[in-house]
Amino acid sequence: MHSLCKTNLNMFWGGLVAEVLARLGLKHAVISPGSRSAPLTLGFATNEHIEAIPVLDERSAAFFALGLAKRTRRPVALVCTSGTAAANYLPAVIEAEASGVPLIILTADRPPEMRDCASGQTIDQQKLFGRYALWEHELALPEADGLRYLRQTVAYAYRRSLTPMRGPVHLNVPFRDPLAPVDSEGYFLPKSFNLGGFLEKLSPPQVSGTVAQFDDLEEHGKGLIVAGYTTTGDRAAYAEAVISMAHQLGWPVLADVLSPLRTHAHKDDPVVAHYDVLLRDKEWAARHRPDFVLQFGDLPTSKVLRNWLREADAETLVIDSSYRNLDSLHARSKHLRLGDDAYAEPMDNDHASLSRCAQDWLKDEHAQRERIKKSIRELEEMFEGKVPYLLSRKLPNGTPVFLASSMPVRDAEYFWSASERGYAIHANRGANGIDGTLSTALGIAHGRRPAVLVTGDLAFLHDSNGLLIAPKLRGSLTVVLINNGGGRIFENLPIAGFEPPFEEFFATPQQVDVAQLCAAHGIEHQRVGDWPSFVRLISDLPRQGVRVLEVCTDAARDVPLRRQLLGQTETNAERISEGDRPKGKNSRRRGKRGRREQTPDGAPAEKQLESNEEGTSEVVPMVEPASSGQLEAEKESPTPVRVTRRKPKERSEVPESSTETVAREKPTTSADEAPFTLVAEEPKPAVEEATAAAEPVEASAKPKKKSARKVARKAVKKATKKVAKKAVKKVATKKRPRKQTTKDVEEKKD
């Protein structure tokens, strides 16, 4: 213990906390500045076995510690002063609890007599993190007779961060003055106190594993292994053990991008990476429902996979090193705790023949892999999904990669190729938020080989304070910033069809110049405009510092392209039934172009321009979205329905600002086909039917030319009825003879 920690009892108390944790195995402490925490700060800063890292912002500090703990799989200490400083830890504490990451949170506090009396920088810090701290305790004020209590309490806190569940623990540490290493007036330690003997029995705790017994699994003909995110020390050994089990059972392994199996898979291993694509085919998915599932770690990110497993409702065995409940599907599951030591044992190398179901999985996996590979290779546009595809093939072997929540982790699940390149892939998938993305990645990169962060623009900007940590980084982090102009994950949801308020309140594009932001922090920035340059920059990572590679993409183009690559053949009718409008080239309605409004009765309507045969444009309303049940009812309705095909116009004849309008659109098999429009004809009165037959009434007849800004505010049913009645009345008026006046009679007599 450093001499500064022996100047007074407070300093010794803080120094002893650090020394006990160091002997238990703690290697890192992340410290934010403050006066009340000075005894703890000096204790960690002067301990030669602990790397103390100063971080100004407590929120960034907590996520930086989270990343360190994820990477090292050891507890990391967090130190802050009293007051609201500790409250900034909460988002990272929630993520640590949800993802099973050990943190030891040390919050300095005022003594009890300074609480609840308007004393400055004082709040109630007990149970500050609620249920998200697996264990919490307020230490006693420093006293010479309490050293044994302090030693054992700190040791217990360290162990509780690791077992029976890994996660955050909280120690609230009050201090009276003095808070600086000023000499005590007298000797403050007990007589005959020997520090070496006092600490000699301390050693890292042993967290024992459990030997798993797998009985009667071979009898299942459609068995399946699902491997998701997990915390394991030896990724290669873990992957080898699970894949060996798959070979023995003859089952396929559906490996999430966050599972070590995705990046430690040999060519002949039964690993499936494109399960999301395969399961979008409902008939294929129904034929391959499993009768037993072995789940290793958390479930993969894919919602398609999760829904399929929920419907299958197969017997499930969940295997993980923690005691957490990982069955979010509420399946017929059992939980088996299997420690890392079990994976280190040699496995039986006997391979069973693959089941027929497994053979189907692997055959179709190969077909989808080749299809996607061919399509992505041909893309010259800056497509979001091509970023993880190239990273999975061009990064140096073993590179640590952190994936931001939202679209980056999903695109990686879709397009990250399975290989044996040994990447260590991380993500904050406990609470799935974008909080602290940059800070967590910096923590993963600290003191290790060059690392990569893949993030969207909003996640990056949300944690831009993390750039303040860059000067303290001992290592290298390359940030691949996919700038698609906001939160474009919402483009995949029905809410994207409603503008306003979609762009302002959901996509939330920001007007930040990333290059200038990086320059303000002294960070290297490059904007990448082509794929050869991108490959060159990621193939050779720098050894020190932070750099940002900004890849600008077009979300309006990427959303339908992603659907096409995933084999998502959603029809327009299906989209309408979900309350969404048909999407197309002009679906991103910015400014006045294609603005969506509401009809008087609340039904959505849209101003759209439609070319007539003479090349002029008219305004017609868009039909209120109808459900499939309503469409069926209309088929049985006595009202006649006519299907007309509009004559295709040359591209140059259609105004650039116009969009194609349909009342109810029938799915077309090709973008080149002209759309169909269903037009309901109003039944004609019997006395006028013959007259109307002489001059057919077309609901789509050419009306007067109107301004594109004057919108038809009524639903299509009312609009069509009005147009039809007006046309019938006009025809009837033309055929009706003019009534004779008195003047006419007199003129006739003359």
3-state secondary structure 501-539: CHHHHHHCCCCCCHHHHHHHCCCEEEEECCHHHHHHHHH
Looking at the structure, tell me whether residues 280 and 135 fall in a common domain: no
The answer to the question of residue 694 being in a domain is yes
CATH code at position 239: 3.40.50.1220
Residue of 526 and 699 predicted with greater confidence = 526
Looking at the structure, tell me whether residues 292 and 407 fall in a common domain: no
CA gap 750, 640 in Å, rounded = 52
CATH code at position 86: 3.40.50.970
The answer to the question of residue 594 being in a domain is no
Range of the domain at 318: 218-341+352-366
The pTM of this model reads 0.68
The answer to the question of residue 589 being in a domain is no
- Domain end marker among 528, 554, 569: 569
319: β partners: 296, 336
Looking at the structure, tell me whether residues 505 and 544 fall in a common domain: yes
Could you give the C-alpha distances from 376 to 372, 382, 392, 415, 640, in angstroms and in order? Answer: 6, 11, 13, 9, 47
CA gap 515, 501 in Å, rounded = 29
Residue 548 reports pLDDT greater than 90: yes
Looking at the structure, tell me whether residues 30 and 60 fall in a common domain: yes
Looking at the structure, tell me whether residues 97 and 26 fall in a common domain: yes
The residue with tokens 């609340």 is 602
Looking at the structure, tell me whether residues 323 and 268 fall in a common domain: yes
Q: Give buried/exposed letters for 473-508 (b at 16+ CB in 10 A, else e).
A: bebbbbbbbbbbbbbbbbbeeebbbbbeebbeebbe
Residue 618 reports pLDDT greater than 60: no
Looking at the structure, tell me whether residues 248 and 313 fall in a common domain: yes
Q: Render pLDDT for 223-261 as a digit per residue (tens, 0 to 9).
A: 999 999 988 878 888 899 899 889 988 899 999 999 999
Q: Render pLDDT for 433-465 as a digit per residue (tens, 0 to 9).
A: 888 999 999 999 998 899 999 999 999 999 999
Task: Assign 355 a pLDDT band (cuts: 50, 70, 90).
Answer: confident
CA gap 518, 536 in Å, rounded = 21
Looking at the structure, tell me whether residues 359 and 390 fall in a common domain: no
Structure tokens at 392: 């999975």
> Mean pLDDT lowest for which of 162-166, 341-345, 545-549?
341-345
The answer to the question of residue 82 being in a domain is yes
Residue 728 reports pLDDT greater than 90: no
Looking at the structure, tell me whether residues 20 and 169 fall in a common domain: yes
Looking at the structure, tell me whether residues 693 and 723 fall in a common domain: yes
Q: What is the mean pLDDT of residues 324-345?
A: 74
For residue 470, give the amino acid letter: A
Mean pLDDT for all residues in the chain = 77
pLDDT in the model for residue 720: 52
Please state, as a whole number, how many other Cβ atoms lie within 10 Å of the Cβ of residue 714. 17
DSSP state of 332: E
Q: Is 287:221 a contact under the CB 8 Å cutoff?
A: no
pLDDT in the model for residue 633: 41
Q: How many domains does the chain divide into?
A: 4
Looking at the structure, tell me whether residues 612 and 674 fall in a common domain: yes
Residue 673 reports pLDDT greater than 60: no
The answer to the question of residue 149 being in a domain is yes
CA gap 472, 587 in Å, rounded = 45
Looking at the structure, tell me whether residues 92 and 236 fall in a common domain: no
Most confident of the following: 243-247, 478-482, 618-622 = 478-482
Most confident of the following: 117-121, 336-340, 426-430 = 426-430
SS3 content of the chain, % helix, strand, coil (to 5): 40, 15, 45
**SS3 label, residue 707:** coil
- Domain end marker among 168, 199, 230: 199
pLDDT in the model for residue 746: 53
The answer to the question of residue 374 being in a domain is no
What lies within 8 Å, CB to CB, of 235 at 6+ separation is: 260, 263, 264, 422, 424
Residue 628 reports pLDDT greater than 50: no
Q: What is the mean pLDDT of residues 105-118?
A: 89
The answer to the question of residue 642 being in a domain is yes
The answer to the question of residue 211 being in a domain is no
* pLDDT-above-90 percentage for the chain: 46
Task: Assign 663 a pLDDT band (cuts: 50, 70, 90).
Answer: very low
Residue 25 reports pLDDT greater than 50: yes
pLDDT in the model for residue 453: 97
Q: Render pLDDT for 378-426 as a digit per residue (tens, 0 to 9).
A: 889 999 999 999 999 999 999 999 999 988 999 999 999 999 999 999 9
pLDDT in the model for residue 726: 62
Q: Render pLDDT for 177-204 as a digit per residue (tens, 0 to 9).
A: 999 988 887 778 887 788 888 888 788 8
- Domain end marker among 554, 569, 584: 569
Task: Assign 206 a pLDDT band (cuts: 50, 70, 90).
Answer: low
Task: State the angle between helix axes of 437-445 and 58-72 in degrees (0 to 180), rounded to the nearest 10.
Answer: 40
